[in-house]
Structure 1
Amino acid sequence: MSKWFCTLLVACATAHAAPGSAPSDDMDKLLADKGLLNQLVEIRHNVAEKAQDKLSQVGQNVASRAHDVVDRTSDLVVTAMGFLGVPYRRGGNSAESGFDCSGFVRAMYQQTVGLMLPRRADQQAASTQVIDKKELQPGDLVFFNTMRRAFSHVGIYVGDGKFIHSPRSGSEVRVESMQTAYWARRFDGARRVAEDGADASPSKP
């Protein structure tokens, strides 16, 4: 067998062997890619589960806080209603002495929520969260200009467009509609006391 022929056989064998090795390389690559894909799927699944757990936890926290807010505002309104008929007294802040408008609001929040709001109506407006009138909920504060200056009168919203307050000398704690001409013309804005008290100070035992 000539040297040339032997060389040709080796070359042909090499040429036929090369294509046979390609499927093995492709398979290894495919298996490697599949392993990576499985890892990515597992990671995605774990992330999704953690995200779902977090959302569930957040939802439970929100529901719990909402329930606490409802309880708090219900207690506040019910307590305030218990003082209907208490006479107005300038500077008063108790049922025994009588209430002025801001003294009434301050006493209700102290007794039911444990927060000591500022003494004057304008200070209460400045230390609480501004909300739109459409957002009013029972327990929120409503302010009026009754003395030719902003935020000179305050009451507690009780729902259905009504509020409870201690109006003026010679009157007593009562519920009135915000839609009456007098109050509608003098409405100054609505405020909400933050759940954490915002700028209000916790009352001391």
Structure 2
Amino acid sequence: MTGLSLEGDLSSFREAIRREHLQKVEALEKQRDNEIAELIADRRTSVQRRVSKLRKEQEEKYLFLAGEMSKDSYAAARASFLDEFSKIRGGFEETLRGCIEGIRRSERERYAVVLRRLAAEALRVCGRPAVVFVEPQDRDLLSSGTLESGFEDGVEIREENLDGWGGCRAVSENMVVDNTLLARWRRLSPSFSVRLSLLMNDSFSEIHNRISKL
């Protein structure tokens, strides 16, 4: 009986030790799992922070580069439009001069009507006596037979190289009236430029809005 009791006690002791060992192992495993979980969580948080920081840096870099590109694009578009504006304006001026030269060469009677009106207008402003300068070969267009009565009273008509556009220049004692067609165009051109710029501004504004969205 004593031997059996001792053997039973040993068996119970070994079972108790085994259970205690298993509990300790389970506790260690649980601790290990918790530590691993915490490590993973810390690592994940660290990675997320790094990713967030990197993303912010990339966004700032993108915004900076986009801003620089926008500035460059806007400057390039503006330069292009200014160049196109100059070309259109210059092209119109050349076309206008070509039309006037064509009329002066091939439609003399039609041009004579314009020249007479320009001369009469200049004389009304500067008064008499006066000298009226016209382009070479245009003097005959202001002959007495083609003008209103008394036009040549106190008026001397001379031919001189003006600017090639036609028209006239009247000079009295106290005044010079430039009524050449080039001078009239130059007086009109600011208004023409304003209208042209308004027409082009709509297109430029649309491009500017697109660039600003880059």
Range into which the TM-score falls when normalised by the shorter chain: 0.3 to 0.5
TM-score when scaled to structure 2? Answer: 0.39
Q: By percentage of residues, which structure has more strand?
A: 1
**Structure whose CA Rg is larger:** 2
TM-score when scaled to structure 1? Answer: 0.40
